[in-house]
Structure 1
Amino acid sequence: MNVKPFLALVGKHRPKGWIIAAAIILGLGETALSLFIPLLTRDVVEEASASALQSATVIMLGAVFALQTAMSGFGVYTMSYVGQYMVAGLRREVWERVLRLPVSFFDRNTSGETMSRITNDSNVIKDFIVGHVISFLGGIVSIVGGVGILLYLDWRMTLLMLIAVPASLLILWPLGSKMFAISKSMQDETAMFQGDLGRVLTEIRLVKSSLAEPAELRQGRGRIGSLFRFGMKEAKIMSIVTPLMMSIMLLILVLLIGYGGVRVAQGTITTGELVAIILYMFQIVMPFTQMASFFTQFQKALGASQRIIELIEEPAETERGIDDRPANQQRGRRITASETISFEKVSFAYSPDRPILNGVSFEAVAGGMTAFVGASGAGKTTIFSLVERFYSPTGGTIRYGADDVSAMSLQQWRDRLAYVSQESPMMAGSIRHNLTYGLSSDVSEERIAEALEGANLTELIASLPDGLETEVGERGVKLSGGQRQRLAIARAMLRDPEFLLLDEATAHLDSESERLVQDALQKLMQGRTTLVIAHRLSTVSNADRIIVLEKGEVTGQGTHMELLRSHELYVKLAKGQHLESEAAV
């Protein structure tokens, strides 16, 4: 159990020193005041026994109680602020890291597991800081102060009580590593269960249409069963720690009362002193019993911090190079032939045993359409992922004009791109929110109206009661496929990209929706370098250049008619899509 990473993690996000000092002073001050209560109680007992109770003693006892209560309230609030502040800073750091992680991280990890690290694990740390740190420090003061006063009152009885210390350590110490391992495993399992929840709830329509409820039910029950077993392992440790700690404390109490009664009978201590000793024993015993809870929560916090640190230490997307050209030369301009996209012997593999692209070379037609065709798995989508720099090539170079795109910053490069896919993903929120999503500056109503007109959405928006403020639902479920496509096109128009990436946006639309989308796409493509993944050759027959991919390699390039005359696979694809008349040319 290495505590240093945990302290370094929470220390990065601590509030101002005086706030932490105030929380500690209030907490320790409240504990220090509680040490006066047994002494004042002794005076009350002895004065009452002698029928000489003084009002000043009672007032002093009441004042100490009141001041202790006030300091406790302020201390709890201040420490809660410290805990919430630290966790808010921690969550900001984790959230920023998550947003900067490469796509490959999300390929390996479920969204639910990542969510669990941001929410559940940070909550474990917050609960520990807010609920246990001050009580632990106060317990130390209570133990040290109480023992010191007890030694002054009667050292023999104090030594008898201190037998509990080594006995408690013998119980707590060997269980530490077990509790840490169990807590971390339980948090891992919780993250996986949350991952399953996120996956099922996101694709609930697929679950129901596939009649997959029984399979998901079995998997969910398995996760819940695992969480139950880990919970029972924690309970097993607590069932050993808590009763033994209480038994040791009760045994010490019995010994103190018995031995103290003998001392009172012998006249070596007074009745008031015995009452004070017993009260101090409780002030010492209670922190010892609370140590079991502190000990458990500390192990959980260590496990949670380790998972968060693993996430923070994940390498982020590399920001390399800065495009220092003036902004008016970076966007909103038509590119020249020297500033198009080209691949030079690019290779890529998701893993060493899964090569996807092998020595791919091509140059997109500047200001025109370049289409990619080939069988499923040939590497078309991977090329788009490389263009968007979701992954880095394992070999070769991707260029923008004469420049290596990897030398440009991600922000500057992706600012030049717009992607319209078949799915046209939408964020939960309004139509306006989705139109302007990701744009760094405010967008005028005039520009939005132009984009809606260009995407053939003006009539649709006018027909909606809430217009642009209409909610699209999670993943855009309140819109039809064609409406989502046109909304994605309008969003691309607002971005005013240099390069347009299209994953045949009309593949699954009815004829009327396809007509509207095709019309919008033609407006969007004017004067822009466009890369298209083609599933139907009829949609790219007028492309300036068609690139044929087979098993991750480029096996042909040319226009539609050129490939029909020279490329066997392309002819086969054309015949399969009922373009026989052209294929026979």
Structure 2
Amino acid sequence: MQSKLKFILHHTHRYRWWYTGGILALALTVWVSVTIPVYIQRTIDLMAGSKEAGADLFRTNILIIAGLAISLIVVRSLSRILIFVPARLIERRLKGEMFRKLSSFGKDYFDENSTGSVISRINNDINGIRMITGFGILQIVNIILSLSLTPYKMWQLAPALTLYCIIPMIVIFVIVRIGMTVMVKYTHLRMGTLQRLSGKTISFLSGNSVIKSFNIYGYAEHEIEQENTKLFDEGMKITGIRSFIMPLLSNLGQILKILVLLVGGLYVIDARFTIGELTAYIAYAALLSQPIMGLGWVLTIFQQGMVGIDSVQTILARKGPDDDKAPIAETQKTDLFKDGIRLEKLSYTYHNGNKPALEDISFSIKPGQVIGITGQVGAGKTSLINCLNGYLRPEKGMLFFGSKDATDLRSDDIRTIARTVSQEVFLFSDSIENNVKFGSADARQQNNFDEVIYRSAFRDELARFPQKEETLVGEKGIMLSGGQKQRISLARALYTPCELLILDDVFSAVDTDTERFLIKQVVENNAAQSLVIISNRISVLEKTDHIIVLEEGRIAAQGSPKELEQQSDFYREIAKLQKEH
């Protein structure tokens, strides 16, 4: 609990002047609220007096009450603006921090947490924190101020009657507190179920084509229905507790009014109260019931919000691979590839693997070189390039950028010199132009858009789209073919120049003529200082200076294309098969 309170204070302190203004406005709101019954009392008592003596004062009191009512509207609205705005700013800031933190995590985190779970945390959990820092703080301050001033005013009028009013409040509060303890248990369970449901929903929607192909609608519906039913059951348990607690709180005002009318009415009969004082006391009782009702909402919000804070803290407290590393200076980034990249007995084992995916890999990439990497499926090609581009982090002393060890560099510093076009192409639900220019805002240099469209063999197809570069590609590029998506992804890499361009099987979905054109534009025309090309196509590998053949995570052979025809059975076999066809 202490860490959660520190978390709230840390984020609210940044906007302390907003909250200070809001608290002052709330104090004025409560003061005006308890002042109005004073004038109501005086006005009613004047009505019992002589007309000549009280007519002018009566009109004055009415004007004062009207003025106070208008002031109440203004200060109450101001208090909500000054408290709700920073809560929204905290929400925006937290979502930014969460996104940056999640972006820094490696493959191990996303293997353990589904996309739906992550989205649920960003949306639902942070919304709970916003409610605490907004409505929660407003209600807490309102309750403290109301339960200070209102009972004081009631005590001034009738101390004994005030004590009578406190008894039902204490009883109801104890019942509510017990109910909230049970409700928080089901809130935890519900949020876990919601995360699982979000994960399965996104998974099934993303794999909709597979569900259709295998005709497994029943399985998908059953899985969603199972989690949905569980979510419903847990939600109904929360609703059941709330439906018992909330009527108690909402009817507290009516209970107090009956009590005040009973005891206060006897006071009036005994001439210990005037009609005006009884009316004022009933108004105070109504004011007293409001913060008690608000207390129920505050407890609910804080129970849900604390669960959200716990979930968010789990992510923010997790150490990313680059958290303890300082970014290198801009001038040093340009020198990272000055002497190329060197791998010395590089080995890598995935966090959930029981044997190395890569083992004893040693070679160098010099500026100006074109390196080819080939091998059977599962040989470790993608794992190797993910070590080169900083997605996977091998141990110290295995990978060097110039004289710097990769373990001392931040991933984003590595990726300023190394860009990857992966075989798993991803396009954003945006225009073709925005997809190509994505991530180039902070780049040191940008190429011409029309030029990279031409070099990626996409100019003719782009011209056929009615909206040209403004054409929307749809969710994950669903409006385009596999080859079109690959070429847009290639254009994205070419748009921002880099020292090392890594192409992971980018020619697999294009025809032979397009492949020849791309080889000429990318390989022969020096699209980057150095190229690393992963491919099993001999027409591509023949254009490289040096080829690495991988087998079960090890280098089976390496050398020039001619040398490999003598050294590597795998290279010789694929060359023979492709030349025959």
TM-score by length of 1: 0.88
- Asked whether the 8 Å contact 2:83–2:138 carries over to 1, the reply is yes
Distance 1:274 1:523, change over 3 A: same
Distance 1:403 1:280, change over 3 A: closer
Q: Distance in 2 between matches of 1:209 and 1:10?
A: 52
Q: Distance in 1 between matches of 2:451 and 2:115?
A: 36
- Asked whether the 8 Å contact 1:6–1:306 carries over to 2, the reply is no
Which secondary structure state, in structure 1, belongs to the residue aligned with residue 173 of structure 2?
helix
Specify the alignment match of 1:310 in structure 2: 314
Distance 1:88 1:205, change over 3 A: same
2:224 to 220, 242, 252: 220
- 1:56 is displaced (CA, Å) by 1.8
1:157 and 2:158 are equivalent in the alignment: no
Which secondary structure state, in structure 1, belongs to the residue aligned with residue 277 of structure 2?
helix
Distance 1:63 1:162, change over 3 A: same
Once the two structures are aligned, what percentage of the paired residues are identical? 21
1:272 to 269, 276, 285: 276
Distance 1:259 1:553, change over 3 A: same
Note the 1:327-406 alignment, pairs <5 A: 329-330=334-335, 338-351=339-352, 353-364=354-365, 367-394=368-395, 397-406=398-407
- 1:258 is displaced (CA, Å) by 1.9
1:57 to 30, 45, 61: 61
Distance 1:282 1:354, change over 3 A: farther
- Asked whether the 8 Å contact 2:501–2:530 carries over to 1, the reply is yes
Q: Distance in 1 between matches of 2:497 and 2:279?
A: 82
Q: Distance in 2 between matches of 1:385 and 1:442?
A: 21
- Asked whether the 8 Å contact 1:504–1:533 carries over to 2, the reply is yes
Specify the alignment match of 1:432 in structure 2: 433
Specify the alignment match of 1:498 in structure 2: 499
Alignment-mate amino acid for residue 67 of structure 2: A
Q: Distance in 1 between matches of 2:15 and 2:192?
A: 33
Distance 1:57 1:392, change over 3 A: same
1:207 and 2:211 are equivalent in the alignment: yes
Which has the higher mean CA deviation after the structures are superposed, 147-156 or 132-141? 132-141
Specify the alignment match of 1:96 in structure 2: 100
1:167 to 171, 174, 181: 171
- 1:291 is displaced (CA, Å) by 1.3
Specify the alignment match of 1:18 in structure 2: 17
Specify the alignment match of 2:127 in structure 1: 123
- Asked whether the 8 Å contact 2:545–2:560 carries over to 1, the reply is yes
1:192 to 185, 193, 196: 196
- Asked whether the 8 Å contact 1:180–1:302 carries over to 2, the reply is no
- Asked whether the 8 Å contact 1:341–1:363 carries over to 2, the reply is yes
- Asked whether the 8 Å contact 2:456–2:488 carries over to 1, the reply is yes
Specify the alignment match of 1:419 in structure 2: 420
1:487-520: CA deviations, max 9, x gaps? 3333333332222212221223333443443343
Alignment-mate amino acid for residue 458 of structure 2: L
- Asked whether the 8 Å contact 1:6–1:305 carries over to 2, the reply is no
Q: Distance in 2 between matches of 1:65 and 1:574?
A: 89
Specify the alignment match of 1:41 in structure 2: 40
Which has the higher mean CA deviation after the structures are superposed, 67-76 or 191-200? 191-200
1:320-343: CA deviations, max 9, x gaps? 465557479549xxx77x424424
1:182 and 2:186 are equivalent in the alignment: yes
- Asked whether the 8 Å contact 1:436–1:443 carries over to 2, the reply is no
Which secondary structure state, in structure 2, belongs to the residue aligned with residue 163 of structure 1?
helix
Distance 1:539 1:456, change over 3 A: closer
Q: Distance in 1 between matches of 2:122 and 2:88?
A: 14
1:229 to 233, 258, 265: 233
Which secondary structure state, in structure 2, belongs to the residue aligned with residue 353 of structure 1?
coil
Distance 1:181 1:359, change over 3 A: farther
- 1:297 is displaced (CA, Å) by 1.1
- 1:402 is displaced (CA, Å) by 4.2
Distance 1:241 1:326, change over 3 A: closer
- Asked whether the 8 Å contact 1:347–1:396 carries over to 2, the reply is no
- Asked whether the 8 Å contact 1:345–1:361 carries over to 2, the reply is yes
- Asked whether the 8 Å contact 2:455–2:518 carries over to 1, the reply is no
Specify the alignment match of 1:31 in structure 2: 30
Distance 1:440 1:246, change over 3 A: closer
2:76 to 72, 78, 81: 72
Distance 1:442 1:505, change over 3 A: closer
1:158-213: CA deviations, max 9, x gaps? 11111124313322333444333322332232233223333333343333334343
1:411-462: CA deviations, max 9, x gaps? 3321211222334322232232222222245899973333233333333444
Specify the alignment match of 2:476 in structure 1: 475
Q: Distance in 2 between matches of 1:469 and 1:247?
A: 59
Q: Distance in 2 between matches of 1:161 and 1:43?
A: 23
Alignment-mate amino acid for residue 81 of structure 1: V
Q: Distance in 1 between matches of 2:165 and 2:555?
A: 83
- Asked whether the 8 Å contact 1:548–1:557 carries over to 2, the reply is yes
Alignment-mate amino acid for residue 276 of structure 1: A
Note the 1:525-540 alignment, pairs <5 A: 525=526, 528-537=529-538, 539-540=540-541
The runs of 5 or more residues in structure 1 that have no matched partner are none
Which has the higher mean CA deviation after the structures are superposed, 258-267 or 245-254? 245-254
- Asked whether the 8 Å contact 1:117–1:307 carries over to 2, the reply is yes
Alignment-mate amino acid for residue 76 of structure 1: R
Q: Distance in 2 between matches of 1:326 and 1:477?
A: 41
Q: Distance in 2 between matches of 1:496 and 1:413?
A: 14
- Asked whether the 8 Å contact 1:417–1:499 carries over to 2, the reply is yes
Q: Distance in 1 between matches of 2:420 and 2:228?
A: 40
Which secondary structure state, in structure 1, belongs to the residue aligned with residue 222 of structure 2?
helix
- Asked whether the 8 Å contact 1:482–1:517 carries over to 2, the reply is no
Which secondary structure state, in structure 2, belongs to the residue aligned with residue 535 of structure 1?
coil
Alignment-mate amino acid for residue 121 of structure 1: D
- 1:395 is displaced (CA, Å) by 6.8
- 1:383 is displaced (CA, Å) by 0.7
Q: Distance in 2 between matches of 1:141 and 1:112?
A: 42
Q: Distance in 1 between matches of 2:366 and 2:18?
A: 62
Q: How many residues align?
A: 575
1:197-235: CA deviations, max 9, x gaps? 333333433333343433222222122212212211211
Q: Distance in 1 between matches of 2:38 and 2:455?
A: 84
Alignment-mate amino acid for residue 101 of structure 1: F
1:525-553: CA deviations, max 9, x gaps? 56743323233455425543333323222
Name the Cα RMSD after superposition. Answer: 3.1
Which secondary structure state, in structure 1, belongs to the residue aligned with residue 503 of structure 2?
strand
Q: Distance in 2 between matches of 1:438 and 1:35?
A: 57
- 1:305 is displaced (CA, Å) by 1.5
Q: Distance in 1 between matches of 2:103 and 2:27?
A: 41
Alignment-mate amino acid for residue 47 of structure 2: A
Alignment-mate amino acid for residue 126 of structure 2: S
1:451-498: CA deviations, max 9, x gaps? 233333333444444433333333223333333333333333333222
- Asked whether the 8 Å contact 1:23–1:78 carries over to 2, the reply is yes
Alignment-mate amino acid for residue 255 of structure 1: L
Which secondary structure state, in structure 2, belongs to the residue aligned with residue 314 of structure 1?
coil
- Asked whether the 8 Å contact 1:112–1:197 carries over to 2, the reply is yes
Specify the alignment match of 1:557 in structure 2: 558
- Asked whether the 8 Å contact 2:445–2:496 carries over to 1, the reply is no
1:366-417: CA deviations, max 9, x gaps? 5333333333222111111111111211475112344322233433321211
Alignment-mate amino acid for residue 23 of structure 2: I
- 1:564 is displaced (CA, Å) by 4.4
Alignment-mate amino acid for residue 29 of structure 1: L
- Asked whether the 8 Å contact 2:447–2:497 carries over to 1, the reply is no
1:65-120: CA deviations, max 9, x gaps? 22212222222222222322222222222233233333432232222322222222
